[in-house]
């Protein structure tokens, strides 16, 4: 019979699932933001394009931070 995973492994997998869901949501927001920013840039509103680029960069950094969190959590779960 198959043993259930240890509690620490279960918590790690739950944290990874939550972080991956948050990454998906952030990437969808970033795609929408890039489309809207490109549309305003092509319309001649250059100031809002700069703001959109800054916010998009911030979202990228948040996704990269979540990726590093997933890597660290996965490494810890596999060592147990």
**Residue 47 CB-half CA count within 13 A:** 0
Say whether pTM exceeds 0.85.
no
For position 18, what pLDDT does the model report? 94
Q: Which two tokens stand for residue 8?
A: 């620490």
pLDDT tens across the length of the chain (80 residues) = 666 666 667 788 888 999 999 999 999 999 999 999 999 999 998 889 999 999 999 999 999 999 999 999 999 888 87
Q: Which two tokens stand for residue 24?
A: 């998906």
Domain boundaries, the chain: 17-79
Name the phi and psi angles at 60, rounded to 5: -60, -45
Contacts of 19 (CB under 8 A, 6+ apart): 66, 69, 70, 73
Cα 29 to Cα 36: distance, rounded to the nearest angstrom:
11
């Amino acid at each position: 019979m198959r043993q259930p995973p240890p509690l620490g492994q279960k918590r790690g997998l739950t944290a990874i699932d939550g972080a991956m869901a948050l990454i998906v949501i952030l990437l969808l927001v970033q795609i929408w933001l890039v489309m809207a920013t490109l549309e305003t840039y092509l319309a001649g509103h250059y100031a809002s394009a700069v703001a959109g680029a800054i916010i998009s960069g911030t979202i990228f950094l948040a996704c990269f931070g979540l990726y590093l969190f997933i890597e660290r959590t996965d490494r810890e779960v596999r060592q147990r």
